[in-house]
Amino acid sequence: MTDVPARSSPRLAIYAVGGNALSDPALKGDEARNAAEEIMGNVLEDVVDLLEAGIRVVLTHGNGPQVGELLLMEESLFDRRRVDSSNFTPQPLGLDNWVAATQGTLGHEIATNLDNILRARGRHEQVVTLLTRVEVDANDSAFSQPTKPIGPIIDDLDAVPSNWKIGVTSVDAGPRRVVASPKPISIIDSDAIETLISAGAVVLCAGGGGIPVISHKGGIEGVEAVIDKDRVSALLAVSLNADFLFISTAIDSVKLDFGGDNERSIAAMSISEASQYLEDGQFPEGSMGPKIEAMLFAKQNVSEISVSLCQPGDVIETMRGAAGTTITE
């Protein structure tokens, strides 16, 4: 007998974990590594808990801090080459390639750790990391209005290149580079994802929101952007008709008046309440705003789905209504 959920199993969870949760841009050195290890452990515990409850799992993740670091490394390399050679013509790979790279590096790390835990528990699911391409609209207004923070906190604004866009979100401890974050239209590799789920695999996909591509007469082409992982996770939940969508993040629940004297947590809010809070500016772009929009998108398109936000390690308690924030009808 196998403990892999049957292919006809009706329950499926999309579990989205933030890039900031895996690598806090405000922390450095041992403090950052220790925090990342603790969060990773909580994330994987959530995944195993879901599997042991008979629920299949698709895991997505953000990549804001990580993709920004890789982009910085590339730009530093090109700067050195320009100094060393007057004939050097830069041809940077672009953000779409670095998103693909973080899908590989983070996917490898998550899959390896999860494999080890599953083996230790005597379970037999296979963990698959799938490079995932996601289509966006070439005319999305996000290309002219960047809001997605990437990379580390900037200590010296005077040293920032003139072509960078800088922003500050309510969850960051300082300014960060921001890039375009167009909304996902379709997940190009969704058929492959569904096939892997049907085979009983735990699927890691759409890492960093997916590799952003646009469609044209000649086919598809990568673009300079980072798609919000919560929005693509909601799209994935809808396309797969999932039973659960968990937005796992660094805070334990949705907050009203976040950071103010009257800050308070919300255990549940209806679609209309969440929409009104969003309209009132309670959930700013670049931080909680896309998460709430993603949760609303999923709930409005699949009314039966359970949609919640929680911190890593709280997924079972959130299913019970004892933690996190859930969107209701």
The one catalytic residue among 18, 68, 208, 291: 291
Alpha carbons 246 and 299: distance in angstroms, whole number = 12
Strands of the chain (E only): list them: 12-17, 56-61, 127-129, 133-136, 148-150, 165-167, 176-179, 184-187, 202-204, 211-216, 219-222, 244-248, 254-256, 264-266, 268-270, 306-310, 325-328
20 part of the active site: yes
CA dist., res. 52 & res. 83, Å (int): 56
Confirm if 14 and 55 have CB atoms less than 8 A apart.
Answer: no
Q: What is the C-alpha to C-alpha distance for residues 307 and 326, in angstroms, rounded to an integer?
A: 6
Which of 141, 142, 134 is closest to 215 using CA atoms? 134
Query: What is the Cα–Cα distance from 16 to 37, expressed in whole angstroms?
Result: 17
According to DSSP, the residues that pair with 119 across neighbouring strands are none
From the candidates 18, 20, 64, 255, give the one annotated as an active-site residue: 20
Pull the structure tokens for residue 274. 């969440």
d(CA 51, CA 257): 36
Which of the following is catalytic: 64, 207, 229, 324?
A: 229
Orientation of helix 288-301 relative to helix 229-239, angle to 10°: 10
- Gap between the Cα atoms of 236 and 92, Å rounded: 30
Q: In this structure, what are the phi and psi dihedrals at residue 298, rounded to the nearest 5 degrees?
A: -65, -45
Pairwise CA distance, residues 210 & 212, whole Å: 6
Point out the catalytic residue in the list 148, 183, 255, 299: 148
Q: Where are the alpha helices (DSSP H) in 179-228?
A: 190-198
* Backbone torsions φ then ψ of 305, nearest 5 degrees: -70, 145
Contact 56, 11 (CB under 8 A): yes
Active site residues per annotation = 19-20, 148, 229, 291
